[in-house]
Amino acid sequence: MKVDLRKIRDEAHGKYPDQREYLQVVESFLDKIDDFVQKNSEFQNVAIIRRMLEPDRIIDFRISWLNGEGKEELHRGYRVQFNRSLGPYKGGFRFHPSVNLSVLKFLGFEQSLKNSLTGLQLGAGKGGSDFNPSEYSEEDVMRFCQAFAAQFFHYSDIDSDVPAGDIGVGEREIGYIFGFTNMLKRQFDGSYTGKNFYSGGSRLRPESTGYGCLYFAEQLLKDVGYDAEGAKVNISGSGNVAIFACEKAMELGMKVQTLSDSGGVVYCEGGFTKKMFKFVKEHKLKNRGRIEEFAKRFDLEFSEDKKPWDYSCKLAIPCATQNELERSDAVTLVENDCFALLEGANMPCTNDAVQYFLENGVAYVPGKASNAGGVSVSAFEMTQNRLGYKWTKEKVDSRLRKTMKYIYSECSNYGGKINGHTNFVKGANTAGFVRLYRAMTNQGVL
Ligand code: NDP
């Protein structure tokens, strides 16, 4: 039977014409599963696919708070509870001025496929606010987080909705939100992950997304017989994901040449030294400094106009934000003989850029596969909290490796080949889709 998935795409365009990021992910998903759906009658219930693309519920709230100068501030908060078929809603909060419903729906849908792909019992959600922590004092960040928690605490719960961090939300923000939630609820239920270790967080949660991405890369290089030692790697961003991707890449003997932030990119021919990395890790994650200051400190090339993709590399790992890598960047990377691109961020490559990579023999790995290490360790954190256990770093690391290996094999099983490589994007979308579809079918019309 021929199933027309274009109708679902057209319907989304008709209903949400202004939601650019959401429509981008809907189009990409439908395109990638089309071939599989046409060939497999079990997966041809269009109503389920339609429902999969529509969030269960959207919680939208006002956050009013008094800043340190006694002035009233106003922000908007959201939680998109996307899909509960595989477990409690799970996915981070993002605090950034660019946060809106289109961005959160795109992230929520991606999260539903990613969480499914891990094989773990995780539903999907995403949320956040247009608040920008980098513009406020430490005390104001706490005030805002408490006002946010005061509006949201009814909804977070270990069995129904377990948020975590994302852009602008790290251990500090999670700590303030979690603490205030516990105070209001008069309980301690582990309803957030990404917590500080002493508040019940998991060992290796901060490292997990970046490390997981490199475990995936290691497997990919091994499969094609390519040596990780000495491979040139360009990374964008210098937040949580980028810094730990850099750390693991350097541990594997790779030469990391770039990091960036919204102010520009730093380039080091031959790769950062251990001394440079030690400085930049503390400078960015602890002191919240700028990349330009890091470049100045070590007399490295810094550019406000260039992107990491302008420099030649074997592996490109975008770890900043959505749509940061366009078709023209993909062309430059291919010209410079880039072998693989692994997404540390969520949807950093535009659909045109992805198409160009696939057509030109670059092994392209979408974020729902390569950055799934973070949510996997969040699932381990939930398990530890439920059982009252504390796993060692070694145990978490070994489980993270196993999960990334599992995701890699799922991509290979469902992806087939394209231009000499596994079609990871088809594999990741299809494998995530299959598990979610089966659970939704099993649970009836909800
Ligand atoms: P952080 O806030 O810690 O870091 C984000 C980094 O990206 C910062 O260096 C920021 O620079 C930079 N950045 C943001 N916007 C831009 C831009 N427009 N141009 C250039 N640089 C930019 O976030 P995370 O590291 O946690 O998240 C990064 C990405 O990874 C996001 O897409 C997120 O959804 C994804 N992700 C994160 C996970 C996690 O565990 N944290 C899990 C899975 C995916 P500046 O400081 O100047 O803003």
**For ligand 1, mutation pick of 21, 105, 112, 167 (most atoms within 8 Å of CB):** 167
pLDDT for 1 equals: 78
pLDDT for 106 equals: 96
The DSSP bridge pattern shows strands 264-267 and 255-261 to be antiparallel
Helix ranges (H only) for 122-193 are 138-152, 171-185
Strands (E), 3-123: 57-66, 72-83, 89-95
Q: Is 126 a catalytic residue?
A: yes
Is the pTM above the cut of 0.85?
A: yes
The finding on whether 320 has its CB within 6 A of some atom of ligand 1 is yes
User: 344 alpha carbon to ligand 1 midpoint, in Å?
Assistant: 9
pLDDT for 160 equals: 97
Q: Going from the N-terminus, what domains does the chain have, and what CATH number goes with each?
A: 51-185 (3.40.50.10860), 207-365 (3.40.50.720)
Residue tagged active-site, from 90, 105, 114, 126 = 126
Strands (E), 211-289: 232-236, 255-261, 264-267
Residues 6+ apart with CB under 8 A from 62: 74, 75, 76, 77, 151
- Nearest atom in ligand 1 to the alpha carbon of residue 367 is 44
The finding on whether 247 has its CB within 6 A of some atom of ligand 1 is no
Instruction: Write out residues in the chain with pLDDT < 50, as ranges.
Output: none
Q: pLDDT > 90: what percent of the chain?
A: 99
pLDDT for 190 equals: 85
Starting at the earlier edge strand, list the strands of the sheet with 161-164.
57-66, 72-83, 124-129, 89-95, 161-164
pLDDT for 339 equals: 96
